[in-house]
Structure 1
Amino acid sequence: MNLALWIVTGLLAVAYLLGGGGKVVMAKEKIAAFGPSSRWVDDFGGGSVKAIGALEVLAAVGLILPAALDIAPVLVPLAATGLVLLMIGAAITRLRRHELTFMAVDVLYIVLAAFVAWGRFGPESFVH
């Protein structure tokens, strides 16, 4: 179970570090140009998109560093919980925009982040 949690955590961290980093450094118009799955940025201002990206980067760091450095490892499930909440917002945005196909990916991220939160709060907690 611990190995599965680390694998999922690592995959989430990479995905959110890259995705969030892109949102932080790119203009929202450039993000929207990636295609239909990125048109959600039209519903937000440039500052909001950058804030979402910053939250994703912080969550990615929070998924790995506290446990790797053994400094406040309780932050790992809290970061995963934050991602669940962030992705619920993403799914609601997709629902509002009638983008149900793209919402499936958001739901997958919710499930993976919830798995990490559950595992690190519960059976494979870092707190002894």
Structure 2
Amino acid sequence: MNVVLWIIAGVLAAAFVIAGLLKLVQSKEKLAASGLGWVDSYSPGTVKAIGAADLLGGIGLVLPAILDIAPVLVPIAATGLVIVMIGAAIVHGRRKEWPMVAANLVLLVLCAIVAWGRFGPYSFS
């Protein structure tokens, strides 16, 4: 199960780091033009803050464990990303973007699995 948790965390980390970087480096207008219509409802600062949360959460899923520096941050990052995905699912649900809600829920469940495993029976202690 430890290997499965590493694989899930690695895939999630890649997805959240890429998503976070895109939100941080691209303008709100460019993000909207690429299909992220939800950004029109938020200020540029809020979009950047969401991008920073994605980026830091993605990094937190693997880096503390790889460096063996405060590995308890891994399940904390996973829990934070669960909260981010709840918010994302709510936003997409209000916009009736059901495929995005489904994607958010899949990411939420995967983050919850990492949090459960790393807080519980497969912690780094």
* TM tier relative to shorter chain: over 0.9
Q: 1: CA distance between counterparts of 2:111 and 2:28?
A: 25
Residue 97 of structure 1 deviates from its aligned partner by: 1.1
Q: 1: CA distance between counterparts of 2:98 and 2:59?
A: 29
**What is the root-mean-square deviation in Å for CA atoms of aligned residues?**
0.7
Q: 1: CA distance between counterparts of 2:87 and 2:43?
A: 16
> After superposition, what is the alpha-carbon deviation per residue over 1:29-48, rounded to whole angstroms, capped at 9, x for unaligned?
1011112xx11111111110
In structure 2, the partner of 1:87 is 85
Unaligned runs of 5+ in 1: none
AA aligned to 2:12 is: L
AA aligned to 2:88 is: A
Q: 2: CA distance between counterparts of 1:95 and 1:81?
A: 21
In structure 1, the partner of 2:27 is 27
Q: Determine helix, strand or coil for the equivalent of 1:22.
A: helix
Unaligned runs of 5+ in 2: none
State the aligned residue count: 125
Within the candidate set 32, 38, 41, 2:39 is matched to 41
Q: 2: CA distance between counterparts of 1:65 and 1:100?
A: 32
**Fraction of identical pairs, as percent:** 58
Within the candidate set 93, 97, 114, 1:116 is matched to 114
AA aligned to 1:55 is: A
Q: 1: CA distance between counterparts of 2:60 and 2:20?
A: 13
In structure 1, the partner of 2:105 is 107
**Which TM-score applies when normalising by structure 2?**
0.97
AA aligned to 1:118 is: W
AA aligned to 2:76 is: L
In structure 2, the partner of 1:72 is 70
Q: 1: CA distance between counterparts of 2:37 and 2:101?
A: 13
Q: 1: CA distance between counterparts of 2:77 and 2:94?
A: 26
Q: 2: CA distance between counterparts of 1:119 and 1:40?
A: 32
Residue 101 of structure 1 deviates from its aligned partner by: 2.1
Q: 2: CA distance between counterparts of 1:118 and 1:69?
A: 21
